[in-house]
Amino acid sequence: MPEQPANNAENNELSQHRAESEAGLESSEAPSGGGTRNARPQRARQRFHPGWTAWLKQPWSWIPTVTLIPILYGLGWLVMQPVAQLLPALPTVTRDLMGTGVSFALLLLVLPSWVRIRWGTRHPWRELGLSGSRKGPQGSRALLNGLGLAAALLLLISLISLGGHWGYWLGDLTLPELINAVLLGFGVGFVEELLFRGWLWGELTLLIGPRRAMPIQALIFSLAHTRFNLGFWPMLGLLLGLFLMGMALAMSRRLHQGSLWGCIGLHGGLVGGWFALQAGLIQWSPQSPLWLTGPEANPLGGLVGILAMMVVLAFQLTALAKAARP
């Protein structure tokens, strides 16, 4: 004779326990990367300080976004005041750079909880584009793609300069200058891309939606890097070139399935590569045209840089359209 089934009370208790376990497993394993922000369980939020959570979840959701960077810069300035008293001979530029480093370190400390609470994701570094994703290219591949594109843009400007006799090849780059170029490119690329294409773009998406967030982040990036004492036309050219660069960097992240490393490679490659060219590889003539080298020796503000960024954007839009096809 087969064994009799367990009584109904035991069956109901087992079924209820199994359903609760599956529901808990499903909520804990739900993916949150790739731009999909799911609400986190209320129980998981309790590990953050109630005041910090209340500040980030307040009804005026734009206030934390607007005040975060000024607060961090102010804290970095305050930290450096005792250092300035103890080391009065420390150059102002070095002290300001150290203060910026302190501010960025504080940003790295607050970003994980910030993204978890405000964006509702369990994987903050994946949401910011720094950690791996289950889809899309690896970070190293995206980084190499960005570096290759930066090298192509710099090569274009170098060939036009050498061909037009506005630049003269020196090929004299010392090892310290090379190391400085690499560190400068990676440092600027990492910091600014995490700030603009990582945190700022995510905040703008939260506040005004993804359609308007992309051009607005590019506009803010352009305004933050433009000098307003150049005269109208040079300033306008630099604003346009930097805006196109901000758009191209955002499109690069979209092409790499949310990875920020392609943006870091493109941005850092342009900064570090241009420094290396000016440090000892090419000597530009004082008569170099503004349409080539741009205002304040920033080729993004010149006609060549603007047209090159427009071409890059056109290719990126074509690649995105092809990727969207079934």
Instruction: Give the pLDDT confidence score for residue 228 in this predicted structure.
Output: 84
Q: What is the rounded average pLDDT of the residues 303-323?
A: 94
Q: What is the rounded average pLDDT of the residues 151-173?
A: 94
pTM of the model: 0.83
Instruction: Give the pLDDT confidence score for residue 226 in this predicted structure.
Output: 87
pLDDT-based confidence at residue 24 (cuts at 50, 70, 90): very low
Structure confidence by residue, pLDDT tens digits, 205-255: 999 999 999 999 999 999 999 888 888 999 999 999 999 999 999 999 999
pLDDT-based confidence at residue 190 (cuts at 50, 70, 90): very high
pLDDT-based confidence at residue 1 (cuts at 50, 70, 90): very low
Residue with tokens 């773009």: 201
Q: What is the rounded average pLDDT of the residues 5-11?
A: 43
Res 177 pLDDT > 60: yes
For residue 266, the 8-state DSSP code is: H
Instruction: Give the pLDDT confidence score for residue 306 in this predicted structure.
Output: 97
Label residue 33 left, alpha or beta by phi (over 0 means left) and psi (-120 to 50 means alpha). beta
Q: What is the rounded average pLDDT of the residues 27-35?
A: 35
Instruction: Give the pLDDT confidence score for residue 133 in this predicted structure.
Output: 58
What phi and psi, each to the nearest 5 degrees, are found at residue 283? -110, 115
Instruction: Give the pLDDT confidence score for residue 180 in this predicted structure.
Output: 96
CA dist 224 and 217 (Å) reads 11
Amino acid at residue number 172 = D
- Reduced to 3 states, what is the DSSP secondary structure of residue 56? helix
pLDDT-based confidence at residue 34 (cuts at 50, 70, 90): very low
Structure confidence by residue, pLDDT tens digits, 55-98: 999 899 999 999 999 999 999 999 999 988 898 888 888 888 99
Q: Which helix (H) or strand (E) holds 105?
A: helix 92-119
- Angle between helix axes 62-86 and 201-208 (nearest 10 degrees) is 150
What are the domain boundaries of the chain?
58-122, 133-326
Contact assessment for residue 218 and residue 247, using Cβ atoms and an 8 Å cutoff: yes
Instruction: Give the pLDDT confidence score for residue 89 in this predicted structure.
Output: 87
Structure confidence by residue, pLDDT tens digits, 259-278: 999 999 999 999 999 999 99
Res 23 pLDDT > 50: no
Question: Which of 123, 126, 127, 122 is CA-nearest to residue 203?
Answer: 127
Question: Which of 303, 291, 248 is CA-nearest to residue 270?
Answer: 248
Greater pLDDT, 84 or 185: 185
- Angle between helix axes 62-86 and 92-119 (nearest 10 degrees) is 150
